[in-house]
Structure 1
Amino acid sequence: MPDVQLRRMIYSVEEIFHEGGPPPETPLRRASALAIVANPFAGRYEPDIQWFMEPLKPLGLTMARKLVELLGGADQVQGYGKGAIVGTDGELEHGALWHAPGGYAMRELLHDSKAIVPSTKKVGGPGTRLDVPITHINASYVRSHFDAMEVGTPDAPRAGEMALALVMSTGARVHDRAGGLAAKDIKGEDGLR
């Protein structure tokens, strides 16, 4: 079982002060981590791929810890998401291997968060961009936290690589007013409401 071959790590932080309306008291912050790794299955169909999730777990934890640090601590994080871009010698299913290592890493660090971590994935070449969905960490139906952060880099993923992403945010969209379940009304029993 080979280790994860990491080529690059890219971290990004956004501060959103307004979207055309009045500035909030505290700007919304979103942060992303993007790991460029070798795809051990590139160029061939491999029936047994699940084993690769285990070596990805430490990478997920490293990325999640850095995002928590960039956003000022776990108590600041209210939203999260994950995604993968698989290089053109791979297949979409290779990106699905990131679901458990990426999702559980964030949930572990965010005080037993309840909501499923939303996800997206695609196959693409260098420069491909990915909109990573974000939802509230404890209740997926909190509409104010439905958001996304774009990730990508000009030189990845190469054909035999994958770009694995984690994203966190500190709150709702800056001018949220679409209604629905409010964060203050979360019961947190099932990860939905």
Structure 2
Amino acid sequence: MPEPVIRKTAILTETIYHEGGPAPDTPLRRAACMTVIANPFAGRYVEDIQGFMKDLEPLGKEMAQQLVAALGGDPAVIEGYGKGAIVGTNGELEHGALWHVPGGYAMRDTIADSMAIVPSTKKIGGPGTRLDVPITHTNASYVRSHFDAMEVGLSDGPKADEILLVLVMSTGARIHARVGGLAAKDVKGEDGLR
């Protein structure tokens, strides 16, 4: 398979100080790394596309490392993650699904305590399309305080023959999280759920 052809990358960072209530001691930080690549399958149906996942692995690792750097450089502070893809209109949704393995495992390999599945979303769209990337706790999917999302997108991508790949990381729970459920401090880390 061909090596990914990158047109552009972007990193978006957010620091959330409060949501109308008291400011926490430490603000929540979230970051998204976005990369626009050429879609090697655009405009045609290709039966065997799985090989491209292997080609995307180095890109996934690089993006995960860029995210950790954008959030201060210490992988131990990462508590949430998610991934997604927007496939240009000459592609198909399955092309975005190729990001599941290289994007997810890149983040799990980059940070400690990452047994939980990496949540994901994907859609077809053109330049300016927005994507809500789901975020969950890195080590236990049932940690309700970390159920979140980050909206991402680029004004000039993806073009029809491109894919916009996204990784997202966060440093903690939603600001003012107070709806109960499993607390992050109580995670056993045995099964990726609790």
* Residues 79 and 137 in structure 2, CA contact (< 8 A), matched pair in contact too: yes
- Determine helix, strand or coil for the equivalent of 2:55: helix
Q: Which amino acid aligns with 2:140?
A: A
Quick one: distance in 1 between partners of 2:2 and 2:122? 23
1:92-129 per-position Cα deviation (integer Å, ceiling 9, x unaligned): 00000000000000000112510000000000011000
Say yes or no: does 1:92 pair with 2:97: no
Deviation of 1:2 after TM superposition, in Å, equals 1.2
Q: Which residue of 1 aligns with 2:177?
A: 176
Quick one: distance in 1 between partners of 2:114 and 2:169? 13
Q: Which residue of 2 aligns with 1:17?
A: 17
Q: Which residue of 2 aligns with 1:60?
A: 60
Quick one: distance in 1 between partners of 2:96 and 2:80? 21
Q: Which amino acid aligns with 1:99?
A: H
- Determine helix, strand or coil for the equivalent of 2:76: helix
Q: Which amino acid aligns with 1:91?
A: E
Quick one: distance in 2 between partners of 1:47 and 1:166? 26
| Identical-residue share of aligned pairs (%) | 69
- Determine helix, strand or coil for the equivalent of 1:120: strand
Q: Which residue of 2 aligns with 1:80?
A: 81
Quick one: distance in 2 between partners of 1:151 and 1:60? 17
Quick one: distance in 2 between partners of 1:152 and 1:48? 28
1:50-70 per-position Cα deviation (integer Å, ceiling 9, x unaligned): 010011000000000010111
5+ residue gaps, structure 1: none
The Cα RMSD (Å) is: 0.6
TM, length-normalised to structure 1:
0.99
| Range with bigger deviation, 105-114 or 162-171 | 105-114
Quick one: distance in 2 between partners of 1:161 and 1:40? 8
- Determine helix, strand or coil for the equivalent of 1:156: coil
1:126-176 per-position Cα deviation (integer Å, ceiling 9, x unaligned): 100000000000000000000000110010000000000000000000100
Quick one: distance in 1 between partners of 2:112 and 2:132? 26
Q: Which residue of 2 aligns with 1:167?
A: 168
Trace 1:143-158 onto structure 2 (pairs within 5 A). Answer: 143-158=144-159
Quick one: distance in 2 between partners of 1:154 and 1:13? 17
5+ residue gaps, structure 2: none
Q: Which residue of 1 aligns with 2:26?
A: 26
Q: Which amino acid aligns with 1:79?
A: G
Moved over 2 A (4+): none
Q: Which amino acid aligns with 1:50?
A: Q
Q: Which residue of 1 aligns with 2:133?
A: 132
Q: Which amino acid aligns with 1:90?
A: G
Q: Which amino acid aligns with 1:64?
A: A
TM, length-normalised to structure 2:
0.98
Q: Which amino acid aligns with 1:119?
A: S
- Determine helix, strand or coil for the equivalent of 1:108: helix
Say yes or no: does 1:3 pair with 2:9: no
Q: Which amino acid aligns with 2:53?
A: M
